[in-house]
Structure 1
Amino acid sequence: MKWLILIFGLGLSLHSLAQDNYEIQVYGSDLVEPHHTMVELHSNYTFQGSKQEENGVLPTQHVFHETVEITHGFNDWFETGVYFFNSIGNHGRTAYVGSHLRPRIAVPERLHWPVGLSLSFEFGFQKRSFSEDTWTLEIRPIIDKTLDTWYVSFNPSFEKSLRGRNAGEGFVFSPNLKIDDAICKWMAAGIEYYGSIGPPGDFPPIDEQQHQLFLAFDFFFSPQWELNVGYGWGLTSGTDRDIAKLILGRRF
């Protein structure tokens, strides 16, 4: 199938810091409808990750991450989301981890631009035992396009530590990419890529970067519901190796 060929080709092209494993998602440019609310549960499990504490951060292997995201649409160009991060694991790894706030603006669909375009600003805190940086900022442009049965979304994100171990450093380039094909009326299949490459113009060696590749499926059973499932592989030594994820959302 054509999407399998695409996955194989991208896997060969990557020689192998991705986003935190609390919200593993490539965002589309569309917003929640005005005066509506979307509630999502982001769930994932790390089969193979870090096995010991590193720089004061607890290991990630055999941990469930459960994130509740609530997003409200205010009009056709503005929405705001809030996240509640949680960890479930042994040896002190079951805890409320932190929260982020994410306002987002978008070019309204009524303007009929040739591509979808939006911009989000996500900021908030995580406990020190779960992250080297306790307060962070993410600036995420979102560009997407549907061509026949194909869908492409590119999120060239930039992340900045505001407080913590890396607070003295600049922005880190963390691109995300989604390419899928609607293989039938109720399902699309494709790939999702998550990377954390380093400061623009001063990228570290490839082994010090983070790259993840997911095989992902989106299901369209109802306009009120969304379901995304996937399995991902870390492509460098500094990336969690095997992760299963599920995103379940309901519009109100």
Structure 2
Amino acid sequence: MAILFLAPQRARAIDEIQVYNAEIAEPGQWTVEQHLNYVGNGLQQPDHPGGLISNHSFNGTPEFAYGVTPWWELGFYAPFALEQHGPFFAQGVKLRTLFVTPDAAKRDFFYGANFEFSYNSAVFSPTRFGVELRPIVGVRNADFEFIVNPIVDFAAGHYGFTNFAPAVRLAHKFEKDFDLDLEYYSDFGQIGHFAPLKDQQHTLFAVTDFKAGDIDVNFGVGHGFTSGADRLVFKSFSATLFRCPRVPRARVPRARIRKERIPIPRRAG
């Protein structure tokens, strides 16, 4: 479901900017999402030698998820980026497994946890392998929804780190398929050794959620408040559902046993 503005040790690719709400595909159902983000005014220097420059970069990822059970979803995505005057970059691959309370969309209190495993290209990260732990805790009523994702990012290897990068969403529902939200994304840096405030990343998005036919759409504009964050970011993602057709089982008719009456001969009287 890493989505955040990344810490100084990490690359600036912001392929997925989203607060997870514990809603998953139904068993046997596929969801397809497309994340697209553009950094209108960002950092001018990469986070590591040979890394991506976020300013005027275009980032995104196609994401595919499958509902296994009412409480378990599996996902796969392949992030990418395009620099202002540079070539197209593939970020690698990411796999995730998401566990949630069943029927989260119908609950006043819901929770879950997402585990994401990534294999990164050198342009996006100084380490090849990474893991994201994303707890999900949320409450809602008829008008409002409040969700917290206290994310912890792990990276293995010589340049490894463990960063705290929480995300928060406050949404107001105006109609069944129309919300206005505030979303906050941050990265405090290494746990136990947080970066100075100016080097941390704190970004606030104004967001709208709506439905266009059968497609769910999320669009937002974000402003970074610290020198360690991109100043202006546009984010969007769209999602649609696909239910796998079930192959009908052939019905085998039961063998019928024909009962015949055997006439009983009469006695000659």
One-letter amino acid matched to 2:188 = I
Q: Hey, what's the Cα distance between the residues in 2 that align with 1:87 and 1:37?
A: 25
Structural mapping, 1:112-191, within 5 Å:
115-163=109-157, 165=159, 167=160, 169=161, 171-191=162-182
Deviation at 1:146, TM superposition (A): 1.5
**3-state DSSP of counterpart to 1:104:** strand
One-letter amino acid matched to 1:63 = S
Cα 1:213–1:135, aligned 2, differ >3 Å: closer, same or farther? same
Q: Hey, what's the Cα distance between the residues in 2 that align with 1:230 and 1:239?
A: 16
**3-state DSSP of counterpart to 2:227:** coil
Gaps of 5+ in 1: 1-16
Contact 1:24 1:245 in 2 (8 A): yes
The residue number in structure 1 matching 2:194 is: 203
One-letter amino acid matched to 2:177 = W
The residue number in structure 1 matching 2:237 is: 247
% same residue? 30
Contact 1:208 1:238 in 2 (8 A): yes
The correspondence for 1:75, drawn from 66, 69, 75, is 69
Contact 2:108 2:141 in 1 (8 A): no
Contact 1:135 1:164 in 2 (8 A): no
Structure 1 runs, 4 residues or longer, greater than 4 Å off: none
More helix by share: 1
The residue number in structure 2 matching 1:28 is: 21
Give the RMSD, CA atoms, in angstroms: 2.0
Deviation at 1:220, TM superposition (A): 3.0
The correspondence for 2:45, drawn from 41, 48, 52, is 52
| CA offset digits 1:179-205 (Å, max 9, x no partner) | 010123331002111111123443222
Contact 1:185 1:220 in 2 (8 A): no
Gaps of 5+ in 2: 1-6, 243-269
Higher alpha-carbon Rg = 2
- Determine whether 1:235 maps to 2:225: yes
Q: Hey, what's the Cα distance between the residues in 2 that align with 1:104 and 1:54?
A: 29
TM-score of the superposition, structure 2-length normalised? 0.80
Cα 1:162–1:213, aligned 2, differ >3 Å: closer, same or farther? same
TM-score of the superposition, structure 1-length normalised? 0.85
**3-state DSSP of counterpart to 2:198:** helix
**3-state DSSP of counterpart to 1:129:** coil
The residue number in structure 1 matching 2:103 is: 109
Equivalences, count: 231
One-letter amino acid matched to 1:79 = E
Deviation at 1:106, TM superposition (A): 1.3
**3-state DSSP of counterpart to 1:133:** coil
| CA offset digits 1:156-183 (Å, max 9, x no partner) | 1111112362x1x3x2111000101012
